[in-house]
Chains A and B, each alone.
Chain A
Amino acid sequence: ETGVTQTPRHLVMGMTNKKSLKCEQHLGHNAMYWYKQSAKKPLELMFVYNFKEQTENNSVPSRFSPECPNSSHLFLHLHTLQPEDSALYLCASSRGGTGGLSYEQYFGPGTRLTVT
């Protein structure tokens, strides 16, 4: 496997379900991100982990819970979601640190989530 992978690619869940999204990066990066992409809106940054430490929580509701067990893996645990949470959830990674190259983020293909 190369690059950034995400599973599952598609997920349909009811509002009372608990599910998890998984992201894995094979690039040796130290920073990982969760984004939400809704129709006709810019990518919304949700969480940032730098060297396994959460450095950003962009006012995300507590029904979204991230977990970063190591610098290669990132999870997004979902619980009692709402229909408006239906969106494409993208994971990304970058080198971490500062400087131009650290700004270049590499994205996974995303998980298309539908909450019914």
Chain B
Amino acid sequence: DQQVKQNSPSLSVQEGRISILNCDYTNSMFDYFLWYKKYPAEGPTFLISISSIKDKNEDGRFTVFLNKSAKHLSLHIVPSQPGDSAVYFCAASALTGANNLFFGTGTRLTVIP
């Protein structure tokens, strides 16, 4: 059973607007969450992360929000740029799971110029 879910396989947004990518998880033991971005023919690259002791982490145009009670996190990109077009993966880890990450299936973001 998939422990990390990204229910939207794709998202299209106009340049300059906000992109919101969503992720849900089922394992209450997860305590660290990450977002990765993947361009074609490249491996995923780390984007931003958040610990379960926080509910928000911001890095430039990227902000991750965590709602532990809902087991939900989201990635906000504002303003969106055409170079942000990529597949975004949500990942989660549990302290007892050492370094193992559980990934979602990804959301393909297309930013339209």
Residue ranges of A at the interface with B (Cβ–Cβ < 8 Å): 4, 6, 31, 33, 40-43, 45, 48, 50, 55-56, 90, 92, 94, 96, 98, 100, 102-110
Contacts and interface: CB of A to CB of B under 8 A. Distances in A.
Of the listed residues A42, A100, A102, the one surrounded by the most CB atoms of chain B closer than 10 A to its CB is: A42
A102 B46 contact: no
Contact of A45 (B32, B101, B105): B101
Contacts of B34: 103-104
Contact of B105 (A33, A40, A50): A40
Contact of A107 (B4, B43, B93): B43
B44 A103 contact: no
Contact of A103 (B32, B41, B42, B45): B32
Smallest CB-CB A-B distances: 7 pairs: A107-B43, A43-B103, A42-B103, A103-B93, A107-B44, A42-B105, A103-B32
Given A31-B99, A43-B89, A90-B43, A100 B104 contact: no
Interface residues of B, number: 26
A14 B106 CA distance: 30
Contacts of A56: 98, 100
A48 B105 contact: no
Contacts of B9: 40
Interface of B: 2, 4, 9, 32, 34, 36, 41-46, 49, 51, 89, 93, 95, 98-106
A105 B99 contact: yes
18 contacts: A6-B43, A41-B105, A42-B4, A42-B105, A43-B89, A45-B100, A48-B98, A48-B99, A48-B100, A50-B99, A55-B98, A90-B44, A100-B32, A103-B32, A105-B46, A105-B99, A106-B46, A110-B42
B75 to A, nearest CB: 16
